[in-house]
Amino acid sequence: MHDIRTIRDNPAAFDAALSRRGASPVSSSLLALDEERRAKIQAAETAQAEQNAASKQVGAAKAKGDEAEFERLRALVAEKKQAVAAMQAEAKELDAQLTEALMGIPNLPFDDTPDGKDEDDNVEIHRWGTPPELSFPPKEHYELAGVVPGMDFETAAKLSGSRFVVLSGAVARIHRALAQFMVNTHVDENGLTETWTPVLVREEMMLGTGQLPKFGEDSYQTREGWWLVPTAEVTLTNIVNGVVVEEGYLPRRYVAHTQCFRSEAGSAGRDTAGMLRQHQFEKVEMVSITHPDASREELDRMTKCAEGILEKLGLAYRTMALCTGDMGFGARRTHDIEVWLPGQNTYREISSVSVCGDFQARRMNARFKPADGGKPQFVHTLNGSGLAVGRCLIAVLENGQQEDGSVKLPEVLAPYLGGKLTLTAEGVLA
């Protein structure tokens, strides 16, 4: 959420930054609403002062025995009290309107965020590895002979509908191994704190990280009012919701492996085959809470943490800086990491790492006390996949595929698979 005071100070700069995201100017309407709100607050304060003054005079008139003046002043107090209540209610309503308007405005991009309209304008900033040269036509993950016995879409459709999967046997174990490998690497080598959080959250938590109110259709809500998290970003970031921490507490770096749930609204007809786009999936999520001066550097650090997972797995990837037109609602700069999928003969997103500045912190009222004793300031927040487990499974299976339908698995998974690094064409580990 944006600070209305910043918009007041330089509305033209605010609109110019917003226009880079393809959004229309909004400062004039926001400032008009803000001016009306402040006028109501001022009028209520003036009427309150008049009411207080008249209240003092009521006692004096009573003491003097001036019944006429007493009745006049008492009526005036009642009138002012009613007027104050009405103006305060109007000011509260205008304040709610302003807050709602501010919550619907996307974050402003950093100066180094590339300008553009869509994914075609994203900029490659890093590339690692070479896609494997296969001597046979590559297949997609769900077509591989060794995968078919352990990846059941028909049973999942019977149980839950489309865009679900039942994993079993060796494939389920590889999926679990990947998640464990990711978490252990982030904890042991990258210094993140392992965290286990709920997947059901209150509405204010979704508001805090920006999934609500604008993107409610992308998530699921229970009858009791809880929301199913689309990512552990919601829970990890909201750890500091409403909290004022000491500066020395920063940075806080969390990692969590959770189930995630997305309705995939607006994605009808896209990636319907296989596991690429599911309603329920697993993700290892990274979140950092930092000092404002350190957040841009932290973005690069988190990006390297995610890239490092792919490098250990030996998977070729490229890292893209998203342009202003393709960036998420709450981000100021985003790095998408795309892994090579032989079955599709292209790179596909497997991680998205974003710095949000104080955008989420304002929504959550998450602040820190400066070490020098100054006024509390808003923290900065970052989030990123480290990685999407299902998509990583797809990449491992497709990149390691052999002509007979078996799969050679990355050596780093050996400790998690009992030393067995081959998924046979019959669907068992060997």
Q: Which residues of the chain does CATH 1.10.287.40 include?
A: 4-103
Count the neighbouring beta carbons within 10 Å of the beta carbon of residue 11: 16
pLDDT at 268: 65
Tell me how long the chain is: 430
- Rounded (5°) CA angle 219-201-386: 70
SS3 314: coil
What pLDDT is attached to residue 84? 87
Q: Is 5 one of the catalytic residues?
A: no
349 has binding-site annotation? yes
What local confidence, expressed as pLDDT, does residue 269 receive?
Answer: 67
Arithmetic mean of pLDDT over the chain: 95
Please determine, for residue 237, whether its predicted confidence score (pLDDT) is greater than 70.
yes
Flag whether 262 is marked binding: yes
Give the 3-state secondary structure percentages of the chain, helix then strand then coil, rounded to 5: 45, 20, 35
Residue 233 annotated as lining a ligand binding site: yes
pLDDT at 107 over 70: yes
Region 59-70: what's the mean pLDDT? Answer: 71
Q: Does residue 132 register a pLDDT over 70?
A: yes
The one catalytic residue in 282, 367, 391, 406 is 391
What pLDDT does residue 66 have? 66
Nearest to 276 by CA among 348, 206, 325, 213: 348
Q: What is the pLDDT of residue 68?
A: 73
The confidence band for 78, taking pLDDT boundaries of 50, 70 and 90, is confident
pTM attached to this predicted model: 0.93
How far is it, in rounded angstroms, from Cα 245 to Cα 239?
11
Question: Which residue out of 277, 296, 318, 362 is catalytically annotated?
Answer: 277
How confident is the model at residue 33, as a pLDDT? 96
Choose among 226, 184, 180: nearest CA to 205: 226
Q: Which tens digit of pLDDT belongs to each residue from 142-194? A: 999 999 999 999 999 999 999 999 999 999 999 999 999 999 999 999 999 99
Is 277 annotated in the active site? yes
CATH superfamily of the domain spanning 4-103: Serine-tRNA synthetase, tRNA binding domain (1.10.287.40)
Instruction: Specify the higher pLDDT residue, 70 or 341.
Output: 341
Active site residue 391: yes
For 367-396, write each residue's pLDDT tens digit: 999 999 999 999 999 999 999 999 999 999
Please pick, among 288, 352, 354, 406, the residue that the annotation labels catalytic: 352
Is 79 annotated in a binding site? The answer is no
Tell me, yes or no, if 262 is annotated catalytic: yes
Dihedral sign, CA of 258, 261, 267, 272? positive
C-alpha–C-alpha distance, residues 166 and 390, integer Å: 12
**What per-residue confidence (pLDDT) applies to 76?**
81
Residues 22 and 28: their CA atoms lie apart, in Å, by 17
Topology of domain 119-423, per CATH? Answer: BirA Bifunctional Protein; domain 2 (3.30.930)
| Residues 392-408: tens digit of each pLDDT | 999 999 999 999 999 99
What's the number of CA atoms in the CB half-sphere (13 Å) around residue 72? Answer: 7
* pLDDT at position 55: 78
Buried b (16+ CB within 10 A) or exposed e, 31-57: bebbeebeebbebbeebbebbeebeeb
Distance in angstroms (rounded) separating the CA atoms of residues 395 and 342: 8
| 295 annotated ligand binder | no
**What residues does CATH 3.30.930.10 cover in the chain?**
119-423
E-state strands within 370-414: 377-378, 380-388, 407-408
Does 60 have pLDDT greater than 80?
no
Active-site option among 20, 163, 173, 262: 262
pLDDT at residue number 392: 98
